[in-house]
Amino acid sequence: MNWERWVYGVCGISTLISIAVSFVGIWLQLKNYRKPFEQRLIVRILALVPIFAISCYCMLTKPSIGHVIEPIREIYEAFVIYMFYKLLVLMLGGERRIILNTVNKPAIKLGILEVNISDPRHFLMIKRCILQYVWMKPLLLCGIFIGTKLGIYDANDISIHSLFLWIGIFYNLSVTVSLYSIALFWRCLYEELAVFDPWRKFLCVKLIIFASYWQGIFIGIGNWLTGSNGEFGGRIQNALLCVEMLFFARLHWVSFPYTDYLKIPDAARMPTLMAMKDWISIGDLVHDLKVSFGYGVHDTYTLRNFDARDESTDSGTFNQKVYQGLRVQGDGRRYWLDDDPSHSVNTPLYVRDIEELGYGSLDESDDFGKDEKLYSYVKSHYISEAEINYPVVYEYDMVDHSTRIRKLRNSLRDNQQRRGCEGEISIS
């Protein structure tokens, strides 16, 4: 009995410290909320540690409460994997910039797959494989809940007809595909990501998920080999995770410092309450689900919509673009044929034939009009007036002592001194 109290005490102290460190880190991010698109992802990642710590400690001491919190933790774990992917995409300037900037890179082979990240279809495949875990996890948890209520879910039954076995297979397949896709994305863009030194951020997400995933597998194998009680193995895993959260809280603090956003020249910050509302909202996730799996997505992620004008004819996607309607003038200018099923690879390559065949125009003919149309669409569908006009806090003292203002003062002082010297010379 004494050793149980000792374990509970160590785990409780570890849980409290890790929660405190994480909450301080989250609060400081919200107090310096100057890059909403980036910081909302960071705060969501930071929240993983306290959710894990609370869930594991409750499973250890109050299983009845822990069983309620654990599904939330499981779903949030999948959510954080996708948030990390979005953070990497944001670091590199967004999906379009990634695809266009890698157009001349060779395809990358990792394991059984060969992927060309500059191909929008391959990019969409990676995105879908990561995102599928976000909605697959809740479905599997619903299956466990329904199976438990019906009395057909037994964690000790691993027969071929067992619901426990098949849910375990689908779960492991889903998480493996998601983690493999993250690794594939990382491998394809390793050189571009190296500029941002994201290794610690990568470890923050990978290690905490691997810790829960592989520890559970090894402890389960140990229980099976020794014939031990599965409940005892679960308590060991939760106790280990409670202590490990100390390490992860510290790693999160170092990897996602609030000081990166403490002083940004000419950048106001959102009020703390608005910042809290911003990171809690899941509107961006819902939008990504619609874009990635919705109707017509294949018409969006096409080579036609992600065409780079400086693309080499030796790139992996150039021939595919020709088959889909890309044509090149003698002076190197590019244009696309109208999207017509009657067009083939034999459709004329020369721009002088366009008017005769009625196949379209050069790609630079109406860029301004296209930009205005896209802006109007985004503004009407995705951005409300409240989001455009959200209140900000502008800290004038910080701007007054910023590096930019200091340089401006020094420049003015030098000019005044120079004019003074010139005046003295002219008088003499």
DSSP notation for 148-179: HHHT---TT--STT-HHHHHHHHHHHHHHHHH
- Angle of helix 36-46 versus helix 272-280 axis, rounded to 10: 70
Distance CA 51, CA 208 (A): 12
Confidence of residue 20 (pLDDT cuts 50, 70, 90): very high
Share of the chain above pLDDT 70, in %: 68
Q: Enter the tokens of residue 289.
A: 């689900």
Q: Kindly report, residue by residue over 105-114, the tens digit of the pLDDT.
A: 877 876 677 7
* DSSP state string for 33-79: ---HHHHHHHHHHHTHHHHHHHHHHHHHH-HHHHHHHHHHHHHHHHH
Asked which of 54-58, 139-143, 325-329 is least confident by mean pLDDT, the reply is 325-329
Confidence of residue 47 (pLDDT cuts 50, 70, 90): very high
Q: How far is CA 323 from CA 85, 347, 364, in A?
A: 32, 10, 21
Distance CA 79, CA 46 (A): 12
Kind and range of the H or E element at 359? none
Given this model, what pLDDT does residue 6 score? 85
Are the CB atoms for 243 and 249 separated by under 8 Å? no
Q: Looking at the DSSP assignment, which residues form a beta bridge with residue 328?
A: 334
Given this model, what pLDDT does residue 364 score? 46
Beta strands in 135-265 (DSSP E): none
Q: Please say if the pLDDT value at position 88 is more than 80.
A: yes
Paired sense of beta strands 113-115 and 326-328, if any: unpaired
Q: Please say if the pLDDT value at position 119 is more than 90.
A: no
Burial of 243 (0-12, 13-18, 19+ CB in 10 A): middle
Q: Please say if the pLDDT value at position 418 is more than 60.
A: yes
Q: Enter the tokens of residue 421.
A: 């010297």
Share of the chain above pLDDT 90, in %: 11
48: amino acid identity, one letter: L
Confidence of residue 13 (pLDDT cuts 50, 70, 90): very high
Q: Kindly report the pTM of this predicted structure.
A: 0.76
Q: Please say if the pLDDT value at position 360 is more than 60.
A: no
Q: Please say if the pLDDT value at position 240 is more than 90.
A: no
Given this model, what pLDDT does residue 385 score? 60
Q: Enter the tokens of residue 194.
A: 């190296």
Given this model, what pLDDT does residue 356 score? 42
Kind and range of the H or E element at 328? strand 326-328
Read off the pLDDT of each residue in 393-421 and give the average, rounded to a whole number: 70
